[in-house]
Structure 1
Amino acid sequence: MLLVIVSLLIINVFISRLILNIYVEQRKSNVLIRANIVANETKNYLTTNAMSNINSIAEEYSKEISGRIIVVDRTGVVRGDSNKEYLGSTFRHTEIQYALKGQTSANIYNFKDYGHVLYVSVPAIFHNRIVGAILISVSINDIYREVSHINQNLYLISAVSIVLIAFISFIFLDFTFRPLESFTKAIDGMTKGDFKQKVEINTNDEFKNMADAFNAMIMKLDQVDKQRNDFVANVSHELRTPISSIKLLSDSLLHQNEDNISIYREFMEDISAEADRLNNIIYELLALVDLDKEKLHINYKTTYMNFLLEKIVNRMRPLAEKKNIKLTLEQDERIQIKVDSEKIQQAIINIIDNAIKYTSEYGKVQVKLYSQSKWCVIEVKDNGIGIPENRLSQIFDRFYRVDKARSRKTGGTGLGLSISQQIVSLHQGIIEVESVVDKGSIFYIKIPNDINL
């Protein structure tokens, strides 16, 4: 409404000024024409100082234009005055001075007693010589009264328009912004922890687009909330399991009556293993927290991936040899890229470690390094138990394990792949998986050759 009111005021002022200027210019044009006519008719008399003839001409035209006409000779002496007030006197009016210099002028004055008066002066030229000047003054109060009347009508129309606009706006306000009530209701529900809200809008406007975006956001928040609850439940379960085992083993030791050192050693070894498992879970949880930080610093350095993989494979080979698994590294080319070597090493170790864990004795785990288009590819292939096709999309979820019973046996926490994926994502890379049950899996770690830092 404020915008409409300001706009109408600006328009009214503009129209008022425009109409006033048009009327004034028309009046100026008409008076200038009369002034030139008077100049043409009096120029002969000005050379002979025939005051009576000049005055009669001034009086005649004065009646036609309803104004005052003053005619002066080239010395400024008044030779004709329609009011007969200044006859014979020297007249030094500004417009007269301009006219005696050969300039036509027209100005508007606002007098307290007379109101708005238009002064027009023209030179009287005879044989290319200025012989005098004509000054005409006419009241233009009628123009200002007409413009004032037009302004009143404009303001009346504007006031009626504002009232109509306000009425229409308030009538349709509820209809137009009714969808906002749905948003308000949904947001109130969200503040109470209910992420099942949904905004239903059947229009084809911006509200519909906003509702779709809002519903998508709600769905995502609901998924995040569910993941959070699952995460808390899984963390609680994972931490409780080794703690319960340690408690059980400790109680068994306390109630043990035998002095057999081997039994105590066996129990202490089990307690140590559970403590290591608990420590591993805490370490991986802390790693996830670090990776979730928005301002995590990635220390990019130019790294020879061949050397890095050789170091990783040599480090993992003793673990593979415990299960008589053949761990090999194949390098077809030398590859040098920018990565955070410490973090990318952790991601690769986690995936190779998984391959070894889920490969049976006398199996094979092959690691390959090669370039593919814009990617540096690290391929980890095993002939282990494989992953069902319908589970491939879930294997990077935190604490997710395809076979929980086997994971308990191998000591997995379900966090390794999630950590690897986040590290690779931080490097603007991706991890792809192919797997067939009982035949094995292939993990492709793809890191861009030219990372945008």
Structure 2
Amino acid sequence: MTAKNQNKQQTKRVRRFSLKWKWALGAAFGIFIVFAVFASLLFNRFVAIMMNQEETNLKDTMMLVVERLNNQATTLSATQVRDTLRPDLAVPQHKLKATPEQSKDSIVAKLAREDVTVTVYDPDGNTLFASSRIPTEFKRTSAIKISQEKIAQQLNFIGRRPIYSRISGQVIGYVQVTSQLGTLHKEQHELKMAFYALGGLALLISGLVSYLLAFYFLKPLKEMTQTIDVIKREPQSGQRIAQTKRNDELADLTNLFNDMLDRMQRYIEQQEEFVEDVSHELRTPVAIIKGHLQMLDRWGKDDPEVLKESITASLQEITRMQSLVQEMLDLSRAEQVEVHYPNALTDAKNATRQVFSNFKLIHPEFTFTLDDDLKGTTTIKIYRDHFEQILIILLDNAVKYSRQRQEVHVSISRNEHNVAIAVQDFGEGIAPKDLKRVFDRFYRVDKARSRDKGGNGLGLSIAQHLIESYHGEIRAESVLGSGTIFRISFPIIKSAEADD
């Protein structure tokens, strides 16, 4: 059944419409639309220019005919028109064989076009001359008139104008020039074919280029998907997306993704280590309590001294377990301070002095020194209880590990942007190999001695999480046998920001 589900999932994955194809087809379609709009505008403009050219040619032809015929004083006759416009032009165009001399004549050149027909009428509308046979209707007009009319289901340009005698000023006939637009239709068809070919070529090239670009730009996403599949099968895998020389959003996404995987792997490792450490820490007190209870159950309950000793030891281990659980809860809360205390503010000077005074009171055998360089209120963005908890953890560690020279120094100062606090003891110190791990959960430099001092190895880890959650910093400096200094710093909140 599982194999069938996997096959179905693989079939669905194969059948999906890839983002590369969506991008390629979308870009190609968009480019094609732009090309089509541009081609349509260009085609319409070309047709308009051709139509204007045809209209100009009609006017020129009519003007040439009129200039040849308007020097007659009386009404035109067929013979006069034929003699004037040359008899050979009165026959159909396909039978015309013009000589080179005739071809030089402008009127001959105008009439030589197969798609142009010149017709001359007398004032009564009778046909006197026709350069070719075409069924045209006579229409009397008093001025130049050009129109588009259909003849035999085909659009034609028709120009009409009267012929006024240059001598008498009377109308002696009419001229009508018909252009069947054959050349125009042919050029329009050729231009359409050219646009269709260019459109198909543009669609193909833009689709190919878009696909290649999509393949290039989406390559990190494909690698990211493959990496996720590997991580899903092997959560502890060290596979990451290869770094590229690109400097764009996908490169940023790649870096963030790799950082997220690194952080996730650290969390998994910390979680495994945390579970192991908790199991180890709880195993000892549980075993001690179990041993005492078994002893009491067998014979110790009848012996008051054994009974008292067992109860005391069990209570101590329960207290240790209670402290451990409380510190684990504190650690969990330290990781969520931004959610619960987003706007908390604290006066660092006042809170530090308060914790310092409390420790002087409860540890009179120690010499505490405070170097306070703050001249007034210094506000930092942190919940006061958390700030005091951090100082308590650091001072408590200083007291625990300063049995020979019982002295602790505390200093607090500031610069333009941060407030800095240092807690120094003169105790055992920390070896360089241990200094790097003092902030790890349950880590103790000397576990046996730390257990005697009541530590669970969570204090510094809690302090670090609290400090980093409030965008602060903490670091440790130590010399083995000479003591340790813990330095912490927090950003200072300006008065205007505090008021907001």
- For Structure 1 versus Structure 2, the TM-score category normalised by the shorter chain is 0.7 to 0.9
Give 1:381 shift.
0.8
Runs of at least 5 residues in structure 1 that lack an aligned partner in the other structure: 101-105
CA distance in 2, matches of 1:309, 1:203: 48
Q: Secondary structure at the match of 1:52?
A: coil
Relative distance call for 1:446 and 1:295 in structure 2 (3 A) is closer
Corresponding residue of 1:351: 394
- The higher-RCO structure (CA 8 Å, 6+ apart) is 2
Relative distance call for 1:270 and 1:291 in structure 2 (3 A) is same
Deviation by residue 1:52-111 (Cα, 9 ceiling, x = unmatched): 399959996873564356999xxx998999769666x5459xxx7xx68xxxxx7766x4
Relative distance call for 1:311 and 1:10 in structure 2 (3 A) is closer
Corresponding residue of 1:374: 417
CA distance in 1, matches of 2:474, 2:468: 8
Q: Report if aligned partners of 1:28, 1:120 keep a CA contact under 8 Å in 2.
A: no
Amino acid in structure 1 at the alignment position of 2:467: V
Matched, 1:328 2:369: yes
Deviation by residue 1:371-399 (Cα, 9 ceiling, x = unmatched): 13311112111111111223323221222
Q: Secondary structure at the match of 1:421?
A: helix
Amino acid in structure 2 at the alignment position of 1:416: G
Relative distance call for 1:237 and 1:427 in structure 2 (3 A) is same
Give 1:281 shift.
1.2
Deviation by residue 1:7-60 (Cα, 9 ceiling, x = unmatched): 346536644652563355145235315515634874898899965399959996
CA distance in 1, matches of 2:468, 2:124: 99
How many residues of Structure 1 are paired with residues of Structure 2 in the alignment?
431
CA distance in 1, matches of 2:244, 2:418: 45
- TM-score, scaled to structure 1: 0.74
Of 161-170 and 368-377, deviating more is: 161-170
Matched, 1:234 2:282: no
Q: Report if aligned partners of 1:242, 1:275 keep a CA contact under 8 Å in 2.
A: yes
Q: RMSD of the TM alignment (CA)?
A: 5.0
Q: Report if aligned partners of 1:118, 1:139 keep a CA contact under 8 Å in 2.
A: yes
Give 1:229 shift.
0.7
CA distance in 1, matches of 2:221, 2:49: 55
Corresponding residue of 2:180: 139
Q: Report if aligned partners of 1:326, 1:365 keep a CA contact under 8 Å in 2.
A: yes
Q: Secondary structure at the match of 2:420?
A: strand
Give 1:183 shift.
5.8
Give 1:163 shift.
7.2
Amino acid in structure 1 at the alignment position of 2:300: Q
Relative distance call for 1:51 and 1:36 in structure 2 (3 A) is farther
Of 286-295 and 354-363, deviating more is: 286-295
Corresponding residue of 1:297: 340
Give 1:421 shift.
1.4
Amino acid in structure 1 at the alignment position of 2:155: H
Deviation by residue 1:192-212 (Cα, 9 ceiling, x = unmatched): 234224368698679999887
Q: Report if aligned partners of 1:198, 1:218 keep a CA contact under 8 Å in 2.
A: no
Q: Report if aligned partners of 1:35, 1:135 keep a CA contact under 8 Å in 2.
A: no
Q: Secondary structure at the match of 1:233?
A: helix
Amino acid in structure 2 at the alignment position of 1:409: D
In the TM superposition, what are the counterparts of 1:274-289 in structure 2 within 5 Å?
274-289=317-332
Corresponding residue of 1:152: 193
Q: Report if aligned partners of 1:325, 1:364 keep a CA contact under 8 Å in 2.
A: yes
Runs of at least 5 residues in structure 2 that lack an aligned partner in the other structure: 1-23, 91-106
CA distance in 2, matches of 1:302, 1:247: 47
CA distance in 2, matches of 1:446, 1:80: 110
Q: Report if aligned partners of 1:45, 1:51 keep a CA contact under 8 Å in 2.
A: no
Deviation by residue 1:344-364 (Cα, 9 ceiling, x = unmatched): 111221111111112215511
> Match for 1:38 among 57, 62, 87?
62
Q: Report if aligned partners of 1:24, 1:143 keep a CA contact under 8 Å in 2.
A: no
> Match for 1:256 among 300, 321, 325?
300
Amino acid in structure 1 at the alignment position of 2:111: K
Relative distance call for 1:294 and 1:376 in structure 2 (3 A) is closer
In the TM superposition, what are the counterparts of 1:133-282 in structure 2 within 5 Å?
137-152=178-193, 155-156=196-197, 186-198=227-239, 218-254=261-297, 255-256=299-300, 259-260=303-304, 264-282=307-325
Matched, 1:337 2:379: yes
Q: Secondary structure at the match of 1:230?
A: helix
CA distance in 2, matches of 1:81, 1:387: 125
Amino acid in structure 2 at the alignment position of 1:384: G
Relative distance call for 1:152 and 1:70 in structure 2 (3 A) is same
Give 1:438 shift.
1.0
In the TM superposition, what are the counterparts of 1:369-448 in structure 2 within 5 Å?
369-448=412-491
Give 1:176 shift.
11
